[in-house]
Amino acid sequence: MNIMLDLNVILDVVQKRHIHYPASARVLDYALKNGNGCIAAHAVTTLHYLTNRHTTRQQADDLVDWLLQNFTIVAITTTIFLRARVLNFADFEDGVVCACAEQQRCDYIITRNCRDFNHATVAVLTPGEFITHHVGQQPHL
């Protein structure tokens, strides 16, 4: 089972967003243990930019190295962009995430903004929902 991780899930962990951290960290842990986590390529550059802006260049570089070693990075091609346009999401970036999830044959998109994925062709779950249904335990909040 492949899972596409939306940028906000990774940011919850990287930025230690207190209220969201536990569930998002468990999703990342699950993906690491199972080798099934996918990230759209544009998320890597955004994560580097945000981390570099709020911490140090070394921490941003280390994060990118860690992502590259532990997750499948889904390339964004013209085909992905064209598919995202057809999906017609209100937020084009979310459409790109969905098109990447389709390309990688992901079973789920994990995001805290499920309502933004109302046109998704891939099932969408919050980190807490994913943990409850697929990891078998409630997240500790």
- Label residues 48-59 b or e (16+ Cβ within 10 Å = b): bebbbeeeeeee
C-beta separation of 56 from 50 below 8 A: no
Comparing C-alpha atoms, which of 103, 130, 111, 132 is closest to residue 12? Answer: 111
pTM: 0.92
Q: What is residue 141's predicted lDDT score, i.e. its pLDDT?
A: 41
Q: What is residue 138's predicted lDDT score, i.e. its pLDDT?
A: 47
Q: What is the DSSP letter of 137?
A: S
Q: What is residue 137's predicted lDDT score, i.e. its pLDDT?
A: 55
Within-domain flag for 27: yes
Within-domain flag for 141: no
Within-domain flag for 87: yes
Question: In total, how many domains does the chain have?
Answer: 1
Residue 103's domain comprises 3-135
Q: Domain containing 54 — which CATH number?
A: 3.40.50.1010
Quick check: 11 pLDDT over 70?
yes
